[in-house]
Chains A and B, each alone.
Chain A
Amino acid sequence: MSADHYMKPTPIDKPFLTPGVTVLLLLALNGLVFLAIRLFSGIGAVTNLNNQYPWGVWIGIDVASGVALAAGGFVTAALGHVMNREEYHAVVRPALLTAMLGYTFVALGVMIDIGRWYYIWHPLVFWNGSSALFEVGICVTIYVNVLYIEFLPVVTERFIGRVNLPGLLSGLKGLVDRLLRALERGLSKTMFIFIIAGVVLSTLHQSSLGTLMVIAGPKMHPLWQTPVLPLLFLLSAISVGFPMVIFESMLAARSFGLKLEMHILSKLGTMTAPLLGIYLAFKIGDMFIRKTFVYLTVLNTASVMFILELLIGVVIPLRIFLSREAVKSPPLLFVAAALTVLGVAMNRVNTFLVAYTPPYSFGSYFPSIGEISVTVGFICILVLIYRALVIIFPVISLPDRSLSPRARYTIRG
C-alpha cells in the first residue's frame, strides 16, 4: 500500500544550468533592475498605480494569485497527513516546497508593493482586529514560518550523517550532526501541530483574502462583489491545490526528464473534480441568488472576463477531470491542471483588478513594463530556487534505485 516501497524523495542528479535556466536568469535580472528603481525612486517611478488604482499586478498576481496557487501545500498536507493517505506522500514534499517558496515570494511581493517595505513587521506589533488585511498578514506570516518548519525535516534528512564543514569548522562536524539529529527528533514529535496549524492558517487566510475586497463595496463589479467572496476564495484555493501539484509535477518531470507518476496524478485529478464542482456550484448559485447574471447580457471587459474565468478556468477542466479516461492521459490532465491554475489566477486578477472600478478615474489601469518585469522576474527567481532546492534536497520522489550511488548517503528511509 505504501508508496515509499518503491518511491523515495531523492535529490535530482541534474546540472543546474540549462539554456532554459539562462533565459529565466535574464528575466530575473531584468526584474531586479526595475525593483532597484522602485526602491530608489518610489513606487510611482515603476508602476502605473495612482490614487484611483492603488493596487496593481503586484497585489493581483504576486500576492493574491501567489497565495491561491500555493494552496497545493495545505491541500496535499491535509490529504497526506491529516487524512493519512500515504500513497500521496510522494507529492507532499514538492507541494510543500512550492508552498514555501510561493509564500516567501508572496511576502516579498507584499514588501515591494507597500510604500514602507522596512515596516513590514508593523502588523506584528500594531494590531487591527477588524482588518481583513491584518488577518491575512498575520496568518501568512505565521504560515510562512510553519512552512519553513515543515520543510526542516527535509533539511535534516539531507544533512544528517553528511555534515561537511570546511577548514577550521570541521571540528564542529560532530556537534552539528548531533544538533540536527536532536532537531529531527523534536520535529517528528511535534510535526502534527504544525501540519494542522498549517491547514487551519491556510483556511483562514485563503478566505480572508476574499474578504479583502468586500470592503470596497460598490467600487467592485457586482459579478465579483459578494458577501460569500471569502467562501469562494477558500473553495477555489482548495480546488486549485491538486491541479497546481499536477501542473508543477509534470513541469518538473519534463524539465528533469523524470518518469511521470501518473497513478498518483490521475487520482489527484479525479479528486479535483468534486472540489471544482462545489466551487462552480457556489459561484453560479451566488450569481443566481444575487441575480447578477443580468450583467452578463452586456458585452464589456467585466462580463467577458467573468465568462472566460468560469469557462476556461472551471467548466472545461471540470469536464476533463470528470472523465476517467481523460485523467489518465498526461496531455489532457496537464491541460486541465494548467487551465484550473490559470482560472484561479484569472479569478484573483479579476477580483483585485478587473472588478475594481473606482468612482473617479482618469483612464483604466494597465500594468507598466516595470510592474510586469518585476512580477515575471519574481516568478523566474522562484522557479530557479525551486530547481536549485530539488537538486540539493530530497524533495521529488523517485523510484528507489538502491543500487544508485546516491542511495547510500540517504540515511533515513
Chain B
Amino acid sequence: MNSSSGDKEKGLTRRAFIKNTVGIAAGLTSLPALAQAKPENILSPDRMGVLVDTTVCIGCRNCEWGCKTSHGLPTPPLETYEDASVFEKMRRPDDKALTVVNSYPNPKDPKAPYTVKVQCMHCDHPACVSACIVGALSKEESGSVIWDTGKCIGCRYCIVACPFQIPAFEYYQALQPEIRKCDFCSGRRKDGKLPACVESCPAEALTYGPREELVRIARNRVKRYPQRYVNYVYGEYEVGGTSWLYLAGRDFADLQFPKLGKNPAPGVSESIQHGIFAYFVPPVALYGLLGLLMWVSKNNSDEGGPK
C-alpha cells in the first residue's frame, strides 16, 4: 500500500467502517455453531475396559496373533509365536502390529520374567482426540478410541500428542497412508464379541469388563496379595484415567510405563485454546481494538499531516 490508497481510505465514512467491522465480528461469532457436536457421555459408568495382570501373563503372545488375525494384518502361523527370542529387544506397536508383548526381568524370581502387553490405553480424555486437526479420532461411549480413515490427513499430530506414544503411521505408503492403533475391537464388541486379544489369551491375564468393576477387582487383588503386586493400578488415574488398566509385580517405571500425572493430557492445551477462543470474544475484541487504533491514528495523521 502506498499513500495513494491511503488517500482513498481517508474518504471512508466512520459509519461504513463500523458497519464492516461489525459484519466481520458477526461472521466470526457464528462459526462455533458449525463445530462438531461431541459424542454423548464418553465417560458413562458402563464403559468397558480391560485389566491387564502382568503377573499372570505368560508371554505366549497369542494376543498378538489374535489381534493381527482379527484386524486382517499379515501374520505368521501361531506356532512361530512360541519363539521367545523376540523378547531380546524391546518392541513397540506399529502399523503392522497393534499390540506387542515385551519381557522384563523379575527380581523376585529370575526364572519367571514379567511380560507386558502394550497397546492403546484408550484414555478417558484422549490427547489424540483433542489434538486431531480434523476430528478423525474419537472416543466412543463403549470406551474405544477409534480412527476415521475418511477424515485423516496424515499429519501425525496424534503421535506427537499421545502420552503413551501409541499411534503408528504407515510411513512407506505413498497414497492413503493410515494411522494404525488398537481400536479396542470396536467392531467386534458391537457384534457382542470379546476383544480379540482378550479372547485369545489362554491365561486370562486380560480381563474384559466394566471399567469400574475392573478397578475394584484390581484393588482387591493388590490388597489380598501384597507380596505379589506393587500397590498401584496403572491407568486408574493416569492422564485422567484410561480404559485399560494394569497390575504389576514391580515398579511400573521398571516396566517402561511412562510416569504421568493425574490431569488429562489435553487439559492445558484445551484450556489455552478455549481461553483464546472463548466464544470468539478475544479475537473479535482484538479486531475491534486494532480497528479503533487504525481509525484514530488515521484521523490524527490526516489532521496533523501536511496534506
Q: Which residues of A contact B (CB under 8 A)?
A: 1-2, 4, 8-9, 39-45, 47, 49-52, 54-55, 78, 80-84, 86, 89, 92-93, 110, 113-117, 119-120, 122-123, 125-135, 137, 150, 153, 185, 187-193, 195-197, 199-200, 203-204, 207-208, 211-219, 227, 230, 356, 358-360, 412-413
Contacts and interface: CB of A to CB of B under 8 A. Distances in A.
Contacts of B32: 129
Contact of A114 (B154, B265, B297): B154
Nearest to B291: A196
B151 A42 contact: no
Nearest to A8: B2
Contacts of A122: 133-134, 151, 153
30 contacts: A1-B306, A8-B2, A42-B170, A54-B159, A81-B1, A84-B6, A86-B6, A86-B301, A115-B152, A115-B155, A115-B156, A115-B170, A116-B154, A119-B152, A122-B151, A127-B134, A129-B36, A130-B273, A131-B135, A150-B1, A188-B9, A196-B291, A196-B294, A215-B161, A215-B268, A216-B160, A217-B265, A218-B163, A359-B256, A413-B4
B136 interface: yes
Given A128-B130, A153-B1, 10 more contacts: A39-B174, A51-B94, A84-B294, A131-B130, A131-B132, A133-B133, A191-B1, A191-B9, A192-B291, A218-B163
Contacts of A189: 8-9, 12
B153 A55 contact: no
Contact of B36 (A127, A207, A413): A127
A43 B36 contact: no
A116 B160 contact: no
Interface in B15-63: 17, 20-21, 24, 32, 34-36
B12 to A, nearest CB: 6
Nearest to B130: A130
Given A126-B135, A135-B277, A218-B258, A40 B174 contact: yes
A96 to B, nearest CB: 9
Which 4 interchain pairs have the tightest Cβ spacing?
A115-B154, A44-B171, A54-B156, A128-B135
B225 interface: no
Contacts, number: 250
Interface residues of B, number: 81
A133 B268 contact: no
Interface stretch (B77-85, B108-116, B282-290): B282-290
B285 to A, nearest CB: 10
Nearest to A199: B290
Interface string B67-90: 000000000000000000000001
Contacts of B286: 200, 203
A195 B266 CA distance: 33
Contacts of B1: 80-81, 89, 92-93, 150, 153, 191, 195
Contact of B276 (A92, A191, A196, A208): A208
B5 A230 contact: no
B157 A133 contact: yes
A117 B161 CA distance: 21
Contacts of B2: 4, 8-9, 89, 412-413
A55 B272 contact: no
Given A116-B152, A191-B1, A196-B290, A128 B36 contact: yes
Residue from A43, A86, A153, A358 with most neighbouring chain B CB atoms (10 Å): A43
A251 B153 CA distance: 37
B104 to A, nearest CB: 14
Residue from B2, B283, B286, B306 with most neighbouring chain A CB atoms (10 Å): B2
